Every structure is written in C-alpha cells, then in structure tokens.
Chains A and B, each alone.
Chain A
Amino acid sequence: MFKALADPSRRRLLDLLHRENGQTLTALCAHLDMTRQAVTQHLQLLQDANLVAIVWHGREKLHYLNPVPLFAIYERWIEKFERNRLGVLRDLKRTLENDDDDKA
C-alpha cells in the first residue's frame, strides 16, 4: 500500500476520486497529462493495493476510492499514539501563524 501511495500520479488519481467518486477511465484521463495506458497501469496498482475499488454500472466501469485500508493505517500509526501531540502542534502552529498575521 505504501508503494501504491509513493507515486505522485497515483496520489493525484486518489485526489480526483476523492473529489468525485465513481469515475470512468475516460473521465480520469481528462484530468491527467498521461497516456490512457499509463493511467490504466496506475489504477491497476491502486486496485491491487485495495485503494481503488471497481463497480460495473451498466456498461460503465467505475473507479471508487476505497478508504478502508487508509483508515487502518490512520488507526495504527496516528490515532493511538500521536493524536494528542499532533493536535497540540497543530494548535501551536495555528496560534503562532495567527500572531504573525496580526503583526502584518
């Protein structure tokens, strides 16, 4: 799964599906400066990692973002150990940045 996420084009594909879930290959290609074949390969890798799920709707092959494996990572690596500390850092960053804004 981390390998699937390591590529910027594949992350872009996931972003596109997050914005509009359930897209055809053609619709996805319209947003990307890549050959149809390259997009197909990226989608296959995302599918193998279970980050993209396929649903046939009539004759259309629709691609869906499948967030279940991402949730498992969130739970494993972020929620249990780090949520409070990350929250404090985020608030600190926000406070400091707001101070800067006030001065400017």
Chain B
Amino acid sequence: MTTMTKPSFVYVTYIATTPEKLWQALVDTDVARRYWVGAKGPAHVNVSDWKPGSRWEHQRVDDARTVDIVGTVVESTPPRRLILTWARPKDADDDSKHSRVTFDIEPQDDGVIRLTVTHADLEGDAPMLAGISSGWPMILSNLKTFLETGRAFPQSPSETK
C-alpha cells in the first residue's frame, strides 16, 4: 500500500482550530453529523473503531443508517494523519475498486491548522469523480465554518424527521 498513483484531487483548507478538534470532527459521529451535510439529503457520519485494517462506513443519519461508502482504515495517526480506502458498498470486497483518501492535519502559526484532503486512485470512475469533486469542497467548507463558528448545518427537511 506504499505505492500511490498521482492524486486525482487535492483539497486544502486552513481552519482556526486545534489538530485534536479537527481529528474528532472526522471520526466522532456526534460531531460529524453537525457539518457533514451535502446539498441534499441527510447528514453523514463516519463509523469505525479507527484501527488500521478495520472497516469504516460512511453512513447516512437516517433511521436505516444507510451505508453509502465503505472502506478500510489504512493509517490512523491521531491527530495528524488518517488514510482510508473508499468504495461503494457493493465493491467492498474488490480492492481494485477502492480509491484512497488521505487527511493530513498540519499545525501552522497562529493557531491555524492546514487540512489537506487527497483523493487518489479514482481514475476511470467518472460518476464517483463527479460526486467527489462536488462533494469535498462543500464538506470542507462546512467543516471550516462549523469548527470556527460552532454553526451546525441544517439537513434537508424532506429527508429528516
């Protein structure tokens, strides 16, 4: 797993927070549900024990806890680096269909951290590429607002109760 193709996307955002709070925002479902909200539909949370080799699930916060993305925890070094594989649930057992997401958390001067999200091995999966390229900027923008202001994001009313 050390070799890596050229990343498909790289997203960088600077957030006035601590590495610990940012880490918690990624892995703690009580925090993620407050900002991991897309343009439509319910919030999502990431569920795992976050040990290397463990499975993780990207779940909708609905009654069924619908799983939209699954993968394996590749590296978990709190509060600095999290590497996950990323696949549709039907491709869970087919490693060739897993792409790879890396979260790098680097403290800067003045109480700001730099979060870099790198998504690699997405070549040839046009629908996933499209979903990701519209999804990550929104989620990272929400994450920044949430950590800096505490403002939570409302879910789409039609899909929540």
Interface SS majority for chain B: mixed
Chain B 7-37 interface mask (CB, 8 Å, partner A; 1/0) = 1111111100000000000000000000000
Asked whether any CB of chain A lies closer than 8 Å to the CB of B156, the reply is: no
CB neighbors of B among A46-104 (8 A):
50, 53, 55, 57, 62, 64, 66-72, 75
Q: Is the CB of A53 within 8 A of B11?
A: yes
Bound state CA distance, A53 and B141, in angstroms? 16
> What's the A-B contact tally at a CB cutoff of 8 Å?
47
Contact of A53 with B6 in the complex, beta carbons under 8 Å: no
- Is B83 an interface position by the 8 A CB rule? no
> Roughly how many angstroms separate A68 CA and B118 CA in the complex, as a whole number?
13
Instruction: List which B109-147 residues lie within 8 A (CB) of chain A.
Output: 116, 118, 133, 136-138, 140-141, 144
Provide the residues of chain A in CB contact with B9, threshold 8 Å: 21, 64
Q: Is the CB of B12 within 8 A of A50?
A: yes
A6-24 near B? 1/0 per residue, CB < 8 Å: 0000000000000001100
Interface size of A in residues (CB-CB distance below 8 Å): 16
**A72 lies within 8 A of B7 (CB):** no
CA distance A64 to B140 in the complex (A): 16
Main secondary structure of the interface of A (DSSP, over half): mixed
Checking B6, B8, B12 against A68 with a beta-carbon cut-off of 8 angstroms, the contacting residue is B12
Partner of B6, one of A57, A66, A69: A57
Would A67 and B10 count as touching, CB distance under 8 A? no
- With A53-B116, A55-B118, A75-B141 known to touch, is A68 a contact of B7 (CB < 8 Å)? no
- In the bound complex, CA of A72 to CA of B142 (Å): 9
Select one of B6, B12, B116, B141 contacting A72, CB under 8 A. Answer: B141
**In the complex, chain B residues 38-66 whose Cβ is within 8 Å of any chain A Cβ:** none
CA of A21 to CA of B7, assembled, Å? 9
Docked Cα-Cα span, A22 to B136, in Å, equals 17
B116 touches A68 (CB 8 A): no
A54→B8 CA distance, assembly (Å): 13
Q: Is the CB of A67 within 8 A of B7?
A: no
Interface residue ranges, B against A (CB under 8 Å): 4, 6-14, 116, 118, 133, 136-138, 140-141, 144
New contact pairs (13) apart from A50-B12, A50-B13, A71-B138, CB-CB < 8 Å: A21-B9, A21-B10, A22-B10, A53-B10, A53-B11, A53-B116, A55-B10, A62-B6, A64-B9, A64-B10, A66-B12, A68-B136, A69-B13
